């Protein structure tokens, strides 16, 4: 971290434009501060010293772009992250979802799937998994492939078990996975209702109607305009009275359709689409 390269706002815009033209990913409405930090971090890792060199490699090397995409997008996730959120889902949301013959849930920006697996455990414990269809999407194909394997690093399982218990989980958490050396394989039955696919919130559209949309700590990487557009996308993707869950420090305050949602639980950041 001692020597940092720097690029100007104009150079960053040039890189964003190049990626959009060559690969179709549009980062132009990402939050500038975090995007810049991620790009600089990538340049540091890849030992690319100037914006010119970065553009050269991005133009000429697809694998280099894949590496860039993997590094610049944030793929950090956890099982049962924020136990309060899962406890609230368990107590307040799932009993309502139980009324639907088919329960459709969308995890937007699912990364490597840890939150989706957590949801499956909740649905299983509520006796709803058989009736559920869980669509899990991410813009990054590498994440989707990894999520499909159902493998979670074993070294985090102790922490996840504690999260699970704090969220009100009463079962033996280790029954939900098979430990193999440094990996834990989440049980196949639990994952049987998940449909993984690539979807880019920035450029793709409504593709189904859901009773619950989970998009936690994804929109923080976008600027206010893009956040607003995505909240419209979520609104249009929800059934009337459908639920929207966002990250613990995210807010609907800056969107122009905040009045079309009501608050289900303020601290757990769960909202409901009005009729």
Partner 1 sequence: MIQKPAENLLVVGGSAGSLPIIMSLIENLPDGFNWPVIVVLHRLKNVNSELVKLLAGVKNGRRVCEPEDKTQLRDKYIYLAPQNYHVLLEADKTISLDYSEPVHFSRPSIDVTFEAAAHVYGNKAAGILLSGANNDGAYGLEQIWRAGGSVAVQDPETCEYAAMPLAAIHRIREVLILQPAVLALFLENLLLNK
Q: What is the closest distance, in whole angstroms, from the C-beta atom of residue 149 to partner 1 in the complex? A: 21
Residues 147-186 contacting partner 1, CB under 8 A: 159, 162-163, 166
Which of residues 68, 196, 221, 231 is near partner 1 by CB under 8 A?
221
The CB density around residue 180, as the number of other CB atoms within 10 Å, is 10
Write the interaction track for partner 1 spanning residues 76-95; mark x where CB under 8 A is met and - where it is not.
x----xxxx-----------
Paired tokens of 156: 């985090």
Applying CB under 8 A, does 266 fall inside the site for partner 1?
Answer: no
Q: What is the closest distance, in whole angstroms, from the C-beta atom of residue 9 to partner 1 in the complex? A: 8
Which of residues 18, 229, 250, 257 is near partner 1 by CB under 8 A?
250
User: Number of H helices and number of E strands within the chain?
Assistant: 11, 10
Size of the chain, expressed as the number of residues it contains: 275
Query: Any idea which residue has 């966002």 for tokens?
Result: 246
Torsion sign across C-alpha atoms 236, 270, 77, 1: positive
Which of residues 33, 98, 179, 195 is near partner 1 by CB under 8 A?
33
Q: What angle do CA 64, 6, 142 make, to 5 degrees?
A: 25
Q: Give residue 139's Cα distance to chain centre.
A: 9
Which of residues 13, 18, 74, 126 is near partner 1 by CB under 8 A?
74
Paired tokens of 243: 């639920």
Residues that bind partner 1 in the complex, under the rule CB under 8 A = 1-2, 31-34, 37-38, 74, 76, 81-84, 159, 162-163, 166, 217, 219-221, 224, 227, 247-251, 253-254
């Amino acid at each position: 971290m001692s020597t940092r390269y720097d690029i100007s706002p104009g150079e960053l815009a040039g890189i964003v434009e190049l990626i959009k033209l060559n690969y179709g990913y549009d980062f132009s409405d990402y939050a500038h501060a975090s995007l810049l930090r991620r790009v600089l971090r990538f340049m540091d890792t890849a030992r690319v010293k100037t914006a010119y060199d970065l553009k050269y490699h991005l133009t000429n090397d697809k694998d280099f772009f894949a590496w860039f995409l993997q590094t610049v997008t944030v793929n950090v996730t956890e099982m049962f992250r924020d136990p309060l959120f899962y406890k609230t889902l368990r107590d307040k949301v799932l009993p309502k979802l139980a009324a639907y013959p088919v329960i459709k849930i969308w995890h937007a920006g699912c990364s490597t799937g840890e939150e989706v697996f957590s949801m499956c455990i909740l649905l299983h414990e509520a006796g709803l998994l058989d009736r559920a269809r869980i669509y899990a999407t991410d813009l990054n194909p590498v994440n989707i492939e990894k999520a499909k394997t159902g493998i979670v690093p074993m070294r985090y399982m102790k922490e996840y078990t504690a999260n699970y218990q704090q969220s009100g989980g009463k079962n033996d958490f280790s029954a939900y996975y098979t430990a193999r050396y440094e990996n834990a394989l989440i049980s196949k039955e639990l994952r049987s209702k998940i449909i993984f696919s690539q979807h880019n919130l920035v450029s793709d559209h409504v593709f189904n109607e859901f009773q619950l949309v989970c998009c936690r700590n994804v929109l923080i990487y976008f600027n206010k305009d893009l956040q607003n557009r995505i909240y419209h996308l979520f609104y249009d993707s929800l059934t009337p009275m459908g639920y929207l869950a966002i990250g613990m420090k995210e807010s609907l305050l800056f969107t122009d359709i905040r009045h079309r949602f009501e608050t289900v639980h303020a601290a757990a950041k769960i909202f409901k689409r009005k009729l």
